Amino acid sequence: MKKCVFKLGGTEDPTLACNHEEADTRLVFHTKQISRSFKKIVIHTPDTDVLLIALGLEIGAEIHMKTGVKSKTRIISLKDIKESLKTRYAVKDVERVSRALLGLHGFTGCDTISSFAGKGKVKPLKTMMNDDQYINLFATFGDAPELTKAQFNTIQSFVCDMYGHKDTNTNNVRYKMYAAKHGHLDPKMIPSCAESLRQHSLRACYQVYIWRNLLQSHPIIPYHPIAC
């Protein structure tokens, strides 16, 4: 098999070679590699996944994201985003919250994971930032490809909270919301049953695990995550 190498500044650089399947992870991996030579890097992409991945990882350079088209382009500083987190949410450990944002993004919907209808990103973010246990949950979400029972229990509490109910089981919240409307509601607007949520959580955990390990050129990714 021919050795795969890439060029940096006209010279072949084997450190840029990797086995990543997705362009998103390759882009951030290459950013990490060239941070050895460049301390200010602009990533040109409209992809939110790349923004959150870069925000949630230690790259070692000052990263900016260029997005938009033609005259409507703008450049976003990741450093400014972290500073705004400190100001808006009185965050002390901004790196932990940045890691949590990556986990939350994967869980609440990305290119490969479905989202929660009608919830978007703002409601889940506010829910997470209002409770330190949720920040801890998503800061470690995806550290391993499997999901523990304790993590899933906290996930259920998080989803119930996101739908405006203090409970620990989404099945209970589904019944409460259905009964309150006497059955006259869009099924998409209630949370998933516990078993469906478990499968969603496993898929999201697996995706975030891939993101968290993308700084390796040849990460070992298991084919099947272990069910909680």
Residue 228 in domain: no
Specify if 226 maps to a domain. Answer: no
Give the max Cα distance, the chain. Answer: 68
Rounded Cα gap, residues 204 and 198, in angstroms:
10
**pLDDT recorded at residue 5:** 47
Residue 148 within any structural domain of the chain: yes
* Placement of tokens 């209630």 in the chain: 190
Residue 185 domain-assigned? yes
Q: How many domains does the chain have?
A: 1
The pLDDT of residue 12 is: 72
Q: Which domain holds residue 73?
A: 6-212
Specify the pLDDT at position 66: 94
| C-alpha radius of gyration, the chain, whole number | 19
pLDDT at 71: 83
- 140 inside domain: yes
205-227 per-position pLDDT tens digit: 999 999 999 999 999 888 765 55
Phi, psi of 87 (to 5 degrees): -75, -50
Domain contains 88 = yes
**Considering the domain boundaries, does residue 147 fall inside one?**
yes
Give the whole-angstrom CA distance, residue 166 versus residue 160. Answer: 6
CB atoms within 10 A of CB 185: 12
Which residues of the chain fall short of a pLDDT of 70? 1-11, 224-228
> Among 157, 123, 118, which residue's Cα sits nearest to residue 137?
157
Q: How many CB atoms lie within 10 A of CB 116?
A: 21
CB proximity list for 127: less than 8 A, separation 6 or greater: 134, 158, 161, 162
Find the helix packing angle between 194-212 and 170-180, rounded to 10°: 130
**Beta strands 62-67 and 11-13, pairing class:** unpaired
Q: What is the reported pLDDT for 3?
A: 41
Residue 222, domain member (yes or no): no
